[in-house]
Amino acid sequence: MAMKIGDKPFFDRVDDALEDNFMRNAMAEAQDGLRGRKLKATVEDEQIGDWEEWRSAGEEIRRHTLENLDYYLNQLSENFARQGGHVYFAETAEDATRYIQDVAKKKNAKKITKAKSMVTEEIGLNQALEEIGCDVYETDLAEYILQIDDHDRPSHIVVPSLHKNKEKIRDTFRDKANYTGTSEPCELTAFARSQLRETFLEADIGVTGCNFAVAESGTISLVTNEGNANMVTTFPKTQITVMGMERLVPTWEELDVMINLLSRSAVGQKITTYVTNLTPQLEEDSIDAPNEFHLVILDAGRSNALGTEFQSALHCIRCAACVNVCPVYRHIGGHAYGSIYQGPIGAVLSPILGGYEEYGELPYASSLCAACTEACPVKIPLHEHLIKHRENYVEKKGMTAEKMAMKTFGIGASSPALFKLAVKGMPAVLGPLVKDDSISSGPGPMKLWTSVREFPAPGKGNFRKWFDDHKKGRNQ
């Protein structure tokens, strides 16, 4: 499955990540930067009033939309088709890629440009198109960097190349694309511009993801900064947009609220440079617009959450605010999650989409400090979902809660810094619970195993030994 990154077991990936100091520093810096920008554009921006009100508005819109998803998807598809667009409802990733391959074959397409494409990453679209002989060009700067670096995998849902610094990028450009410039971001970016310029104009098909679809008008909304999504949707004569089935809003009025929440939470902007809203009003004589527009609406496991305690996970608008505050992500980085969706939302969503067999251990990549829940612009109770996943997983595996607790604690204790975050970094949550060097009760990080027995609070040194001892226990 294309959602998956790497074949190693989760705990081994964590070990690898913890040894990668460069990656960890990069993650920490990026997190601080992104979080700072978000705060400036949300709670600290007086112009927009009370940020909590915005979050509540987002929550009620998302809840209503998901509760009536059948109605709004019907409305969206009817409105899209009424104006000449084609809609394909895809139950699985394979259904979606097969349909897109068919369109590409019919169009005899050779060059395909892509933008805003996390969902197409999820369904493994590039590979499917390459199999039928198409050349696929990623055009988001971060995705472009990953693609030319031998299809490296994303480590962050908003900035997928976050794990690479400018020197690494320069070396990749030099080795793979004959770049001769410096590591200055301006120069690197200008190189990407020059490389892709003609490709944009020559492409036969443009493929995009979708930030939001508007049911009342059959409109696809893309929230971007680089101008590439406009290029991808302006010049090819055929456009294909792939959307997760939950990514819609009833009307333009709700779109407005969601765009504000997304722009500010994801990149700390009042609005992104481009908010491009595309409706298939196809004019035959239009020179710079597609005359064929396909919308692929994807389930691929999303419906597993409907009608369950996990339904609100589908409220997610992929802003990564939860990722940017997660102390565990900070230490293990994006690749350790083994999924294209990382951080707290990745740990919640991946088991829903891909099952517990593959992703059941991911919910343990959390200290349950609830920073994610607090950061989420649509108020998804992420840490509660993580706890519920753990309960389900333990039940499914027939493991004792205690044994799973050891696993969890293993992650937390595998580095002194991470351990501190997991245990002592949240005095407000845990402080009062640590008495006489043992953790006796309480919610938050310790809930799962303190409900089983008293757990020794970690001593001041030698965490590694503590971890090793318990790791042995884990493997028994």
Measure the CA–CA gap between 451 and 455, rounded to whole angstroms: 10
Instruction: For 186-241, give the DSSP string.
Output: HHHHHHHHHHHHHHHHH-SEEEE--SEEETTTTEEEEEESSSHHHHHHHSSSEEEE
Give the nearest distance from C-beta 321 to ligand SF4 in angstroms.
4
444 part of the interface to ligand SF4, by CB under 6 A? no
CA nearest neighbour of 71 among 280, 255, 215: 215
Considering beta carbons, is residue 38 or 471 the nearer one to ligand SF4?
38
List phi, psi (to 5°) of 37. -65, -40
Residues in contact with ligand SF4, total (CB under 6 A)?
Answer: 14
At residue 363's C-alpha, the angle toward residues 362 and 366, to 5°, is: 105
Listed residue (232, 202, 233) closest to 85, CA to CA: 233
Using the CB atoms, write b or e for 192-210: b if 16+ within 10 Å.
Answer: beebbeebbeebbbbbbbb
Name the token pair of 394.
């333990």
Give the CB-side neighbour count of residue 66, counting CA atoms within 13 A: 26
Residue 148 engages ligand SF4 in binding (rule: CB under 6 A): no
Q: For another protein, which is the closer residue by CB, 185 or 427?
A: 185
CB of 100 to another protein, least distance (A): 12
Q: Which does 22 bind (CB under 5 to 8 A by kind): ligand SF4, another protein, none?
A: none
Partner that binds at residue 39, options ligand SF4, another protein, none, CB closer than 5 to 8 Å by kind: none
Using rule CB under 6 A, residue 321 touches ligand SF4: yes
**CA distance to 77, 192, 218, 233, per residue, from 99 (Å):** 16, 30, 20, 19
| Beta carbon nearer to another protein, 180 or 194 | 194
Name the minimum Å distance from CB 147 to ligand SF4.
23
With binding defined as CB under 6 A, does residue 380 bind ligand SF4? yes
* Cα distances (Å, whole numbers) of residue 11 to 6, 284, 338, 348, 381: 12, 55, 10, 17, 25
Cβ atoms of 213 and 243 within 8 Å: the answer is yes
Q: Which is nearer to ligand SF4, 240 or 382 (CB)?
A: 382
**87 vs 430 by CB, closer to another protein:** 87
Check binding of 34 to ligand SF4 (CB under 6 A): no
- Work out what residue 376 binds among ligand SF4, another protein, none; the CB cut-off runs from 5 to 8 Å by kind: ligand SF4
**196, 201, 156, 206: which is closest to 173 by C-alpha?**
196
- Residue 377 interacts with which of ligand SF4, another protein, none, CB < 5 to 8 Å by class: ligand SF4
Of 352, 376, 405, 446, the one binding ligand SF4 by CB under 6 A: 376
Return the residue of 317, 352, 387, 423 that touches ligand SF4, per CB under 6 A: 317
Tell me which of another protein, ligand SF4, none is bound by residue 345, counting a contact when its beta carbon lies within the kind-specific cut-off of 5 to 8 angstroms: ligand SF4
Rg (CA), the chain: 23
Task: Choose among 375, 364, 277: nearest CA to 321.
Answer: 375
Helix, coil or strand: residue 248: strand
DSSP states along 143-156 = HHHHHHTTSPPPSS
Closer Cβ to ligand SF4, 206 or 377, answer by number = 377
Q: Using CB distances below 5 to 8 A depending on partner kind, what does residue 378 bind out of ligand SF4, another protein, none?
A: ligand SF4
In whole angstroms, the minimum distance from the beta carbon of 311 to ligand SF4 comes to 13
Question: Applying CB under 6 A, does 404 fall inside the site for ligand SF4?
Answer: no
- Binding at 322: pick from ligand SF4, another protein, none (beta carbon under 5-8 Å per type): ligand SF4
Minimum distance of ligand SF4 from residue 385's CB (angstroms): 9
Q: From ligand SF4, another protein, none, which one binds at residue 273 (CB under 5 to 8 Å depending on kind)?
A: another protein
Locate 53 and state its tokens.
């009100």
C-beta of 114: minimal distance to ligand SF4 in Å?
21
- Min CB(294)–another protein separation in Å: 9
| Nearer to another protein (CB atom), residue 141 or residue 365 | 141
Q: Does 318 bind ligand SF4 (CB under 6 A)?
A: yes
Amino acid at 395: E
Please give the span between the terminal C-alpha atoms of the chain, in angstroms, as a whole number. 30
- Given the complex with another protein, which of 273 and 400 has the nearer CB atom? 273
List the interface residues with ligand SF4, window 342-361 (CB under 6 A): 345
Nearest to another protein of 135, 216 (CB atom) = 216
Binding residues for ligand SF4, rule: CB under 6 A, are 316-322, 345, 375-378, 380, 382
